[in-house]
Amino acid sequence: MPDDANMTHDPDAIVQCVLGPYLDAQEAERRRVGSTRGVVVVDATTDGLASALVDANFQVVRAARKLAGHDDRRALLSHRILVTRSTVDYLTDAPVLDYGIIGLDALPVVEEGEAYAQNAMAQRISHAVSKRGLVSMRGAWVLMLVPDGEHALVRLE
């Protein structure tokens, strides 16, 4: 912003100067900048959803290997949401490590696009997270997504 003592105070010019790059219509294609909706962890069974979930404004952590050990799970899953097709493998330590699980076990495996707009599975996950307020839900819980009907949400104690 120019430092000119004789410059008249014009609020619109100040806003345009500071926020111009973000307000330009030509910048609409720019990737979103700012806070994410939450942190989700994808395991080997759901790794293909990672880029679509990033497009849905989630911060995505990819598990480099199978989350078999308690130390691996504590480091990657505590206070986060795990998206998996192996829900039963995580039920025992979710209450201890305080994380949520979105189980896709009941849904058919379908190869979908990497972009959110072409990925019905990522759209379903995003809608469920928003509708149920899962990012702010404390404690261990499991949300099992089903093809038709109401998804099943259970608190783990």
pLDDT tens for each residue of 61-119: 998 777 778 888 898 899 999 999 999 999 999 999 999 999 999 988 877 788 999 99
| Residue 14 confidence (pLDDT) above 90 | no
Q: Where are the beta strands (DSSP E) in the chain?
A: 39-42, 59-62, 81-84, 100-103, 140-144, 152-156
User: What is the per-residue pLDDT for 137?
Assistant: 87
From edge to edge, which strands make up the β-sheet containing 152-156?
Answer: 59-62, 39-42, 81-84, 100-103, 140-144, 152-156
Q: What percent of the chain has pLDDT over 70?
A: 86
CA distance 36 to 31: 12
SS3 breakdown of the chain: % helix, strand, coil, rounded to 5? 40, 15, 45
For 6, other C-beta atoms within 10 Å of its C-beta total 4
pTM: 0.76
Higher pLDDT pick, 37 / 51: 51
